[in-house]
A and B are shown apart, each in its own frame.
Chain A
Amino acid sequence: MRRRTGLLFATPALLLFAVFVLYPMVTAFSYAFFHWQGTTRGEFAGTANFETLFTRAPFTTDLPRALLHNVLFFAGTMLFQNTIGLSIAALLHARHRSRRLLQTLYAMPYLVSPIVIGYLWTLLLSPTFGPVNTLLTSIGLEEWALPWLGDPTTALWVVILVSVWQWIGFPVLLYGAALGGVPEELTEAARVDGASHRQTFFRITLPLLIPAIGTVTVLTFIFAMEAFALPYAFGGSTGNPAGATDFVSLLFYRTAFDSGATDAIGSSSALATLLFVIIFGGAFAATAVLRRHERRITA
């Protein structure tokens, strides 16, 4: 009886989910298995569209490179955003009065659209008019005034670091909440036993934060694999310069909307499906590992 009532209440939401999420998703999956002529669906294609992704130019060169950039984006975000975010959260945790205000300030940049952020930083870093290089030159660091977005070796890291700057408030908030959940008796007991601040953090607080770290990791993974708006704002749909800021979603966008190929819907749907499998697989595997760790803590 109770279960049936629950189901009744869930129906509207389930219906919306089915119509607006599940149905288009399944349709998109199905597109990947057909031949296409423009928007007209042709015969069943089997796995032909997927084979295209691994055998035909430009995918053979662009897909591995784009995927590598997504992985680097994930690694860079983990390395900078989440470590710095955790440090800031830990420092803020000790400040009772200004914590709220500072948390809000750190979260501010992600209220701005990534397209705007990308545009602003493009202006700031412009080698012809940008204030960043003007400043570096005027304080005598001329050799540091690089063409930041024009050099393939720096462009990808500019994208990653600007993203870190924009999203830093996200781990700060999540870790802040998690730190609030660490029982004070434990840290106090450790301090009574003579543990230093450092020891307390690494031996008590950090292990207890593992569930939060896991959550942040999985969300970062999804975020990095789907990166689109910021790279698009920096390098356009082709990942300028010379493909240095190309990502899988940009490749999808190019294939679906920019290419002259008449079978664009087939190959782009195959690419979207592949991306889904990677994200789903990665998130699933990470969650499994995470759960095992959690069990160890609670045991």
Chain B
Amino acid sequence: MTRTGRTIVALAILTAALTVTACSPSSSSDDSPGTGDDVTLTVWSWRVEDQAAYDKIFDAYEATHPGVTVEFKPFKATEYNKILATGLAGSDGPDVPQVRSYGQLQATVASGALVPLDGKVDLSGWDENVVESAKGKEDGKVYSVPLATQTVQMFYNQGLFEKNGIAAPTTWEQFIAANDKLLAAGVTPIAVGAKDDWTLPIVHEVLAAPRFGGKAFRDAVTSGSASFTDPNWVASVQVLKDVEKYLPKNPTGVAVTDAQTLFSAEKAAMIPGGSFDLAVLQKANPAVKIGVFQVPPAPGSPSGSEATTAGWADGNFAVSAKSKHPNEATELVKWMSTKEFGQKVADEVKQLSAVPGVEYSDPLLKQMADNYANAGSPYLLLTDFRYGSPSGTELLGKGIQELLLGSKDAATVSADLDTGVKTWFTPVA
């Protein structure tokens, strides 16, 4: 009879062992040495959907750089972090990896896996917030070239607005009046999928960035002269509770995909989202004429605070320290900081390029880019509070869910955010 017992213990060890092995970074060694004078550069990315666009872009590069072949190799986005960590630690990794930005870049930098690019690429004249995304926090060196700027704003259904006699609001009173009108017409005014916590700090930025003071507050909180318990920040969190009646019923049960479906099915008139959502929304229902506006400042906003478009840099490219062709790889990354490349990103990949001065043929992309250029602010919980764990976005996401569920008030949510980030965050005066 003891055999059953032994089998069970063996099974227990085996299954638990499998759990543990899941976290071992391993390295493999199978590499093809460079052949002759021709150089092949491998570019890794998590944008499987952009393969065709990048192939086209790199064809243009190969045409002007004889002897260099660029191979674009995308991986599944959700598994990319793991794959990249393994790839950079081993010897068959990429020459030019696409890397995360801001805090999420730091582990890669700390591993010593990337080559500092100071003096090799010129990012002068670029948006300060965007350049920050490419730097190592410890040494302040530039480790990558930012690819795209993502912005967050309110998308709206122009047809539904017209039908209800509403124009894009420029004051908070107009915004609330529009919501009331839509509600009375049986339309969900603002589609928010609060079941997915990651979206909520974005919703907070879109609806309430002017209420806490946008960029001015960011400077204050990162230098230590203000904290998240500041009354203006607390009031900005409260804004979400105040507009709850304009969100779908039981918002914490609604997923982001549900919210997008509500918008595409014209059952909701507005949806707070990122520039990266635009293509998805346009494709879901091409008949919906989409417009964009910045939500005006809520009452009580600090003086001088205006409607803003929050943004951050995303999808940066770097040079691997293990690349066998460091010069060619650096040359490629350098090209990625030129307007020529930026324009191709705008035209082919259809993203807001991080390179200054790029032109957009899509009117909505152009409007979002202009909004960010004229009234931009950093999406502060992402740009400054993801350098440790728990991250600012993680804490506020969960906090707003609790706020909407009624288990915590705005002051407690803000206090939790403050104590959470203070476990690792130190202000730089």
**Chain A residues proximal to chain B, CB less than 8 Å:** 21-22, 24-25, 27-29, 31, 37-40, 56-58, 122, 126-129, 147-152, 211, 214-215, 218-219, 222, 226, 236, 238, 240-243, 249, 252, 255-262, 264-265, 268-269, 272-273, 275-276, 279-280, 283-284, 287, 290-291, 294-295, 298
Q: In the bound complex, what is the Cα–Cα distance between A129 and B264 (angstroms)? A: 13
Contact check, A260 vs B389: say whether CB atoms are below 8 A apart. yes
Q: In the bound complex, what is the Cα–Cα distance between A37 and B137 (angstroms)? A: 13
Report if A261-B107 is in contact (Cβ < 8 Å); known contacts: A29-B20, A57-B390, A291-B5: yes
Report if A287-B106 is in contact (Cβ < 8 Å); known contacts: A126-B255, A150-B254, A226-B15: no
Contact check, A256 vs B23: say whether CB atoms are below 8 A apart. yes
Chain B residues near A265 (CB-CB < 8 A): 23, 25
Contact check, B254 vs A280: say whether CB atoms are below 8 A apart. no
State the main secondary structure of chain B at its contact with A: helix
Contact check, B81 vs A56: say whether CB atoms are below 8 A apart. no
Chain B residues near A37 (CB-CB < 8 A): 107, 110-112
Report if A236-B196 is in contact (Cβ < 8 Å); known contacts: A40-B112, A215-B8, A279-B15: yes
Question: Which of B5, B20, B25, B253 lies in contact with A150, CB distance below 8 A?
Answer: B253
A selection of 14 A-B contacts at a CB cut-off of 8 Å is: A57-B390, A127-B254, A128-B262, A147-B254, A226-B19, A236-B196, A240-B195, A240-B197, A242-B405, A260-B388, A273-B20, A284-B12, A290-B5, A294-B4
Chain A residues near B21 (CB-CB < 8 A): 21, 24-25, 28
Contact check, B19 vs A39: say whether CB atoms are below 8 A apart. no
Contact check, A147 vs B250: say whether CB atoms are below 8 A apart. yes
Selecting from B35-43, B116-124, B291-299, B396-404, the interface stretch reads B396-404
Selecting from B82-90, B125-133, B238-246, the interface stretch reads B82-90
Chain B residues near A21 (CB-CB < 8 A): 14, 17-18, 21
B179-237 residues at the A interface, CB under 8 angstroms: 194-198
Report if A28-B24 is in contact (Cβ < 8 Å); known contacts: A58-B420, A298-B1: yes
**Chain B residues proximal to chain A, CB less than 8 Å:** 1-2, 4-5, 8-9, 11-26, 81-82, 85, 88-89, 102-104, 106-113, 194-198, 248-255, 258, 261-262, 386-391, 394, 397-398, 401-402, 405, 407, 419-420, 423-424
Chain B residues near A240 (CB-CB < 8 A): 195-197, 252, 401
Chain B residues near A261 (CB-CB < 8 A): 107, 388-389, 424
Contact check, B405 vs A151: say whether CB atoms are below 8 A apart. yes
Given contacts A275-B16, A280-B12, 11 further A-B contacts (CB under 8 A): A38-B113, A57-B419, A128-B248, A238-B394, A238-B397, A240-B196, A242-B398, A262-B107, A262-B110, A269-B20, A284-B12
Report if A241-B5 is in contact (Cβ < 8 Å); known contacts: A40-B112, A150-B251, A226-B19: no
Contact check, A291 vs B2: say whether CB atoms are below 8 A apart. yes
Contact check, A28 vs B23: say whether CB atoms are below 8 A apart. yes
Contact check, A291 vs B23: say whether CB atoms are below 8 A apart. no
Q: In the bound complex, what is the Cα–Cα distance between A149 and B255 (angstroms)? A: 10
Q: In the bound complex, what is the Cα–Cα distance between A129 and B262 (angstroms)? A: 9
The 6 A-B residue pairs whose C-beta atoms are closest, nearest first, are A150-B253, A147-B253, A38-B111, A260-B103, A147-B250, A283-B12
Question: Which of A25, A150, A287, A295 lies in contact with B9, CB distance below 8 A?
Answer: A287
Chain B residues near A215 (CB-CB < 8 A): 4, 8
Q: In the bound complex, what is the Cα–Cα distance between A56 and B419 (angstroms)? A: 11
- Measured CB to CB, the closest approach of chain A to B192, in angstroms, equals 12
Report if A259-B389 is in contact (Cβ < 8 Å); known contacts: A27-B24, A151-B253, A241-B195: yes
Chain B residues near A258 (CB-CB < 8 A): 81
Contact check, B402 vs A283: say whether CB atoms are below 8 A apart. no
- Measured CB to CB, the closest approach of chain B to A45, in angstroms, equals 15
Chain B residues near A269 (CB-CB < 8 A): 20, 23
Chain B residues near A222 (CB-CB < 8 A): 11-12, 15-16
Report if A242-B402 is in contact (Cβ < 8 Å); known contacts: A31-B23, A265-B25: yes
The residue in B25, B85, B198, B262 that gathers the most chain A C-beta atoms within 10 A of its C-beta is B25
Q: In the bound complex, what is the Cα–Cα distance between A196 and B72 (angstroms)? A: 73
Chain A residue nearest in CB terms to B394: A238
Question: Which of B2, B12, B23, B423 lies in contact with A56, CB distance below 8 A?
Answer: B423
- Measured CB to CB, the closest approach of chain A to B17, in angstroms, equals 5
Contact check, B1 vs A291: say whether CB atoms are below 8 A apart. yes
Q: In the bound complex, what is the Cα–Cα distance between A252 and B19 (angstroms)? A: 10
Q: In the bound complex, what is the Cα–Cα distance between A198 and B250 (angstroms)? A: 46
Report if A272-B19 is in contact (Cβ < 8 Å); known contacts: A57-B390, A219-B11, A243-B398: yes
Contact check, A38 vs B109: say whether CB atoms are below 8 A apart. yes
Chain A residues near B81 (CB-CB < 8 A): 257-258
Chain B residue nearest in CB terms to A226: B19
- Measured CB to CB, the closest approach of chain A to B92, in angstroms, equals 15
Q: In the bound complex, what is the Cα–Cα distance between A67 and B255 (angstroms)? A: 26
Contact check, A260 vs B15: say whether CB atoms are below 8 A apart. no
Chain B residue nearest in CB terms to A267: B389
Chain A residues near B258 (CB-CB < 8 A): 126, 128-129
Contact check, A127 vs B253: say whether CB atoms are below 8 A apart. yes
Q: In the bound complex, what is the Cα–Cα distance between A5 and B14 (angstroms)? A: 25
Q: In the bound complex, what is the Cα–Cα distance between A260 and B99 (angstroms)? A: 13
- Measured CB to CB, the closest approach of chain A to B81, in angstroms, equals 5
Chain A residue nearest in CB terms to B401: A242
Question: Which of A31, A151, A298 lies in contact with B24, CB distance below 8 A?
Answer: A31
Contact check, B111 vs A39: say whether CB atoms are below 8 A apart. yes
Q: In the bound complex, what is the Cα–Cα distance between A58 and B102 (angstroms)? A: 20
Contact check, A40 vs B388: say whether CB atoms are below 8 A apart. no
The residue in A28, A128, A215, A256 that gathers the most chain B C-beta atoms within 10 A of its C-beta is A128
Contact check, A150 vs B195: say whether CB atoms are below 8 A apart. yes
Question: Which of B19, B89, B106, B423 lies in contact with A275, CB distance below 8 A?
Answer: B19
The residue in B18, B88, B109, B253 that gathers the most chain A C-beta atoms within 10 A of its C-beta is B253
Chain B residues near A211 (CB-CB < 8 A): 1, 4
Chain A residues near B254 (CB-CB < 8 A): 126-128, 147, 150
Chain B residues near A256 (CB-CB < 8 A): 23
- Measured CB to CB, the closest approach of chain B to A226, in angstroms, equals 6
Q: In the bound complex, what is the Cα–Cα distance between A76 and B85 (angstroms)? A: 38
- Measured CB to CB, the closest approach of chain A to B408, in angstroms, equals 9
Chain A residues near B82 (CB-CB < 8 A): 257
Question: Which of A29, A58, A226 lies in contact with B389, CB distance below 8 A?
Answer: A58
Chain B residues near A284 (CB-CB < 8 A): 9, 12
- Measured CB to CB, the closest approach of chain B to A174, in angstroms, equals 12
